[in-house]
Structure 1
Amino acid sequence: MNNIRKNHHFVSQSYLKAWANDHKKVWTYRTLVSHSSVPEWSQSSVKSLANHQYLFTRSMVGADSDEIEIWMDQEIESPAQSALSKVRSNKALSKGEWELLLRFIALQDIRNPERYIEQMERWKLEMPALMEEAMYSALDKFEMDLNNGASPVHEVNTTNQLIPMKVTKEIEPGSEKGRLKTELLLGRSIWLFSIRHLLSSTYKVLNQHTWSILRAPGNLKWITSDNPLIRLNYYGNGSYDLKGGWGNKGTDIIFPLSPEFLLHTQVGNKSILNTVTEELAMTINRFIAENAHRHILSQTPIKDMSIIMPRVVDQASYEHEKREWETWHIRQKRLEQEY
């Protein structure tokens, strides 16, 4: 327990450093504050931003594991550093470097608390039907194997072991038949499973898109946030949402690389954008701000941010959210150990 990593960043420090000054500070605008006297903009250290303790810890029998945190660092963050540095310098990337970079931006999207909340809402609605379908499919295969004279094979998949699931038999005394009861814990463990799954295969859809690198026009600078990948569905006439998908045709995927450069693609559109107007750039910055979880980040303070993204002043909500994250590991661990 004492040897594992405790402070887990859901946005990479290597990414945030592009907005930092010589003192490793970033100008920060908080979207939820406890009191109106809190300054709109303040400077925060890169180390203090976008992190929670034990966010990606996996609780197993008798011990905690930071294997997922290490895996994300060694397999995705570290290999992407060269590509991230080159693209920020407006240098050409090889095919392999593009894949490393796109896997890196996928990581910034799916391990974010905002995505966790979004996934939990979806899983609560969809998971019962998916579990039932999976159970019937497994029973059909089991029955087919028996009819064909084959012995059922127990397949071991280390990734699937992340799924917090209990299967129990319920048989009445004296009866030859019963029922199987399947329980799935919706929480940190299933989130970690989805993160590893998406970053092992699904992210590759990003390689199929045509990407543009946009330089900020004039004196304008790109901002970023603690939820930096934007999945924009724009319907026209000012109508849009930020619930697009990596492979959804028409979705604009936007990712600020630095105050100077920004990555963009529109799914299904093979055109490359070379320039962006100041008006469009300001609109893109507004989308970036609206997509923030709790922090909007900039190289310099933006005086109109309170108009673009009015902050919520609510001490009760602020304290409640603070307590939720402070007790996150204890609550998740208690539930995980039951599975």
Structure 2
Amino acid sequence: MGHLKKDNHYVPQAYLKQWTIDGKIPTYRLLVPHENCELWKSHSPSSIAKHQHLYTYFSGAKDSDEVEQWLDRDFESPATISIAKVINESRLTPEDWNNLFRFAVAQSVRTPAGLESFMQRQNQTLKTLLIDSLETSVARIGVALNAGIKLQPAPADESLSKLPLKVLRVKNEDGTEGVEARALNGRKMWIWHLRHVLTRTIHRLPKYHWTILHAPSGISWPTSDNPFIRLSRDANGKLSLEGGWDVPGVQLFLPLSPKHLLYACLGVRPPRRGTILNDSDARFFRDIILQSASRYIFSIDAGEIHQIRPRKVSQEQCVAEAQVWASWHEVQSKEEADYPD
């Protein structure tokens, strides 16, 4: 039996090593407990951008780290080889471009920022979705029964086997029977979403034409704990950092090193690989990368980053977040025990 991987790096160590100086990554925290915390502190790649049991889940019988292993095997390891080719200015094969694309999509959903965004959406929409689905199903069954039609069960969908969802028969106050749907909006639901995006949705995304843009002299690309960006602009010129994947003109980018930026713009022919951006465009992209960060920014050049993204000082919030992550696995596992695979 293999060793359970407890430390789950949501930004892979091999990726972050591109920003190391003497083996350490200069790190700027966006949330600190007090004013006298130093602006920048260096960390080893193994000690940053991780949470214990972020992807572990309780299957009903035991803890499983299969998601962590899968992300490493199918997304991180292939991309590590392709990123090395980018940095060495080697020729990239179609497989390399696909590795980089898959790595970028994984980074769009696997971070704590992705978790927070997903859970907020579920809080807003999940109850209505369950009610609508139940009402539609019950109505369909009623119509079939009245017409004397025997409904055939739908083919089993293996992707739904790990969805933390229950449909129960309940007795109403008036003595009639009904059905009730319950879903767990937590780690296991998020992991199901992550799997769905990276095994199904990823194959339905538009065809993007990727390139590698270079930072000009005097400017370097930072990265963060939320490094992949989908930048869109609405009709009023307002920017969004979570633009739709299929929106024409959406710009997708991910820093691969302080010099190299993976880039695509849907519906637009990309610049030639190795194009050096002018200072104005480069500073714009750098600022967007900084704005996308959630809790950490990593950069080999501190520059004026602390002015572009002033940090928040709150001991209360730091303590609250630390407590959430300290109890994360225990709390989530207790809830997941009621929704076994």
TM-score w.r.t. the length of structure 2 is 0.90
Provide runs of 4+ in structure 1 moved above 6 Å. Answer: 143-146
Deviation at 1:53, TM superposition (A): 0.2
Please tell me whether residue 291 in structure 1 is matched to residue 304 in structure 2: no
- Alignment map for 1:1-339 (pairs within 5 Å): 3-22=3-22, 24-139=23-138, 147-149=148-150, 151-152=152-153, 155=156, 157=158, 159-171=159-171, 178-204=177-203, 208-235=207-234, 239-272=238-271, 274-300=275-301, 302-339=302-339
Amino acid at match of 1:25: K
Amino acid at match of 1:338: D
1:57, 1:69 within 8 Å by CA — same for their partners in 2? yes
Cα distance, 1:238–1:285 mapped onto 2, change above 3 Å: farther
Per-residue CA distance 1:9-30 (angstroms, 9 max, x = gap) = 00111110111123x2011000
Cα distance, 1:236–1:181 mapped onto 2, change above 3 Å: closer
Q: Which runs of 5+ in 1 are unaligned?
A: none
- Between the aligned partners of 1:185 and 1:27, the Cα distance in structure 2 is 38
Amino acid at match of 2:335: L
Q: Quick check: 214-223 or 189-198, which moved more?
A: 214-223
Q: Which runs of 5+ in 2 are unaligned?
A: none
Amino acid at match of 1:286: D
- Between the aligned partners of 1:243 and 1:195, the Cα distance in structure 2 is 16
- Between the aligned partners of 1:11 and 1:236, the Cα distance in structure 2 is 33
Q: Quick check: 266-275 or 38-47, which moved more?
A: 266-275
Q: Quick check: 118-127 or 24-33, which moved more?
A: 118-127
Amino acid at match of 2:325: W
2:141, 2:151 within 8 Å by CA — same for their partners in 1? no
Deviation at 1:218, TM superposition (A): 1.1
Residue identity over aligned pairs, in percent, reads 33
1:145, 1:151 within 8 Å by CA — same for their partners in 2? no
1:28, 1:298 within 8 Å by CA — same for their partners in 2? yes
RMSD value, Cα:
2.5
- Between the aligned partners of 1:92 and 1:127, the Cα distance in structure 2 is 46
2:97, 2:210 within 8 Å by CA — same for their partners in 1? no
Per-residue CA distance 1:253-281 (angstroms, 9 max, x = gap) = 11001011001112222342533111211
TM-score w.r.t. the length of structure 1 is 0.91
Deviation at 1:204, TM superposition (A): 3.3
Deviation at 1:39, TM superposition (A): 0.6
- Between the aligned partners of 1:84 and 1:316, the Cα distance in structure 2 is 39
Amino acid at match of 1:275: I
Per-residue CA distance 1:256-307 (angstroms, 9 max, x = gap) = 010110011122223425331112111211111111111100123x131121
- Between the aligned partners of 2:151 and 2:234, the Cα distance in structure 1 is 54
